[in-house]
Amino acid sequence: MVSILRRSPKLLSSICRRQFSASSDGNLTSHGGKSMNLYSAINQALHIALETDPRSYVFGEDVGFGGVFRCTTGLVDRYGKDRVFNTPLCEQGIVGFGIGLAAMGNRAIAEIQFADYIYPAFDQIVNEAAKFRYRSGNQFNCGGLTIRAPYGAVGHGGHYHSQSPEAFFCHVPGIKVVIPRSPYQAKGLLLSCIRDQNPVVFFEPKLLYRLAVEEVPEDDFMLPLSEAEVIREGSDITLVGWGAQLSVMEQACIDAEKDGISCELIDLRTLMPWDKETVEASVKKTGRLLISHEAPVTGGFGAEISASIVERCFLRLEAPVSRVCGLDTPFPLVFEPFYMPTKNKILDAIKATVKY
């Protein structure tokens, strides 16, 4: 199954050619620690979560065997099959079970094999998890629940192994939505999500599981939720994205720079509740905003960012907010390159916005 990460060479070249950057200045900074890929970073975070809290559990389809993407490798050997276990194939049941487990004061870390298969659990997430605290007047909650799911395009995943469903969950007050862009981010953010007192949906960019490699400290560390990060400073236009799309956007920034356009790139990291202040401050400086995500443009989370920023920065904007996103079609099989918000589409949009 992991072989789906062997993306077609043409599409991947832009990502493979360079080091993956995680630092605020766009260069590979050393966080110290071992160089590792994204799935190993996730694996390490899960090890730490289980190690540091005896009331934490990891479960999902085939997780006892390491999972489709190897993220849960070795957990069952270390922590036993009472704390790390396979579930039957039943997403609605998995999440419902997780809510109950969390309601008893445990950390329930559920894996949904692909984000495309989270829909059978949608009701549990939206109607049960998100509203438990509110409707019980704070008597109950499932804050210990974290749902991990790999999302996004890999080059040839087709209709049901490629989708980016984050916007659906951003429409649900009561749950948090977090998406990391790199191994270091993945480890720190996942540990924060697991320990956060609210239910969280954590989407992992499966394209990067093996591709993205950077130094990640071995120790237990957390990165703040609801804090965006400026990963590249610039003065002409602000670009906002998350997850795997950031590496594509970064390439566009580098190309734009050759044409004398200075781009500021922001990783939103937490989509719900999101860090409006950081984006607002940046747009007030640059006067222009571009948002890019793989999910279809209509009703995507880019629309929300756009509306909020127009409200806050109306008089400072020099051009309409630009969205370079997936098209309004089902995720296609043979047409993936047409569908995707590629580097050149972003570059075109940067130029058009700056010239507006």
Partner 1 sequence: MALSHAASRSNLLKPLVSGFSYSSSLRRSISSAADNSSSLTIETSVPFTAHKCDEPSRSVETNPKELLGFFRDMALMRRMEIAADSLYKAKLIRGFCHLYDGQEAVAVGMEAAITKKDAIITAYRDHCTFLGRGGTLLEIFAELMGRQAGCSRGKGGSMHFYKKDACFYGGHGIVGAQVPLGCGVAFAQKYSKDETVTFALYGDGAANQGQLFEALNISALWDLPVILVCENNHYGMGTAEWRAAKSPAYYKRGDYVPGLKVDGMDALAVKQACKFAKEHALKNGPIILEMDTYRYHGHSMSDPGSTYRTRDEISGVRQERDPIERIRKLIISYDLATEKELKDIEKEVRKEVDEAIAQAKENPLPDPSELFTNVYVKGFGTESFGADRKELRAVLP
Ligand X SMILES: Cc1ncc(C[n+]2csc(CCOP(=O)(O)OP(=O)(O)O)c2C)c(N)n1
Q: Are 181 and 211 in contact (CB under 8 A)?
A: no
What token pair was written down for 98?
A: 């997780």
Sites of contact with ligand X (CB under 6 A): 61, 89, 91, 113, 117, 120
Partner whose footprint covers residue 16, from partner 1, ligand X, none (CB < 5 to 8 Å by kind)? none
- Give the binding range for partner 1 (CB under 8 A) out of 21-29, 103-111, 196-204, 338-346: 338-346
Q: How many residues bind partner 1 (CB under 8 A)?
A: 51
β-partners of residue 146 are 109, 200
Q: How far is the CB of 55 from partner 1 (least distance, A)?
A: 14
Tell whether residue 78 is a contact of partner 1 (CB under 8 A): no
Q: How far is the CB of 122 from ligand X (least distance, A)?
A: 11
Segment 98-157, which members bind partner 1 (CB under 8 A)? 116-117, 119-120, 155-157
Q: Rounded to an integer, what distance in angstroms lies between the CA atom of residue 124 and that of residue 91?
A: 9
Q: Rounded to an integer, what distance in angstroms lies between the CA atom of residue 120 and that of residue 125?
A: 10
Q: In angstroms, how far is the first alpha carbon of the chain from the final one?
A: 45
**Closest by alpha carbon to 107, among 55, 174, 149?**
55
Locus of tokens 């979560």: 49
Q: Which is nearer to ligand X, 120 or 217 (CB)?
A: 120
Q: Which is nearer to ligand X, 16 or 333 (CB)?
A: 333
**Closest by alpha carbon to 292, among 251, 227, 341?**
341
Locus of tokens 């200075």: 262
Q: How far is the CB of 109 from ligand X (least distance, A)?
A: 18
- Give the binding range for partner 1 (CB under 8 A) out of 140-148, 232-240, 250-258, 345-353: 345-353
Tell whether residue 338 is a contact of partner 1 (CB under 8 A): yes
Q: Rounded to an integer, what distance in angstroms lies between the CA atom of residue 89 and that of residue 39?
A: 22
Q: Are 266 and 230 in contact (CB under 8 A)?
A: yes
Tell whether residue 258 is a contact of partner 1 (CB under 8 A): no
Q: How far is the CB of 121 from ligand X (least distance, A)?
A: 9
Partner whose footprint covers residue 344, from partner 1, ligand X, none (CB < 5 to 8 Å by kind)? partner 1
Q: Which is nearer to partner 1, 157 or 188 (CB)?
A: 157
Write out the catalytic residue numbers: 91, 161
Q: Rounded to an integer, what distance in angstroms lies between the CA atom of residue 216 and that of residue 155?
A: 27
Q: How far is CA 73 from the centre of its chain?
A: 21
Partner whose footprint covers residue 26, from ligand X, partner 1, none (CB < 5 to 8 Å by kind)? none
Tell whether residue 82 is a contact of partner 1 (CB under 8 A): yes
Q: Which is nearer to ligand X, 89 or 307 (CB)?
A: 89
Q: Where are the alpha helices (DSSP H) in 181-258?
A: 183-195, 208-211, 245-258
Locus of tokens 């629940």: 145
Residue 217 DSSP label: -
Residue 199 DSSP label: -
- Give the binding range for partner 1 (CB under 8 A) out of 82-90, 182-190, 259-267, 268-276: 82-90
Q: Which residues of the shown chain bind partner 1 in the complex (CB under 8 A)?
A: 1-4, 8, 61-62, 65, 68, 81-82, 85-90, 92-93, 116-117, 119-120, 155-161, 297, 324, 327-330, 332-335, 337-342, 344-345, 348-349, 352
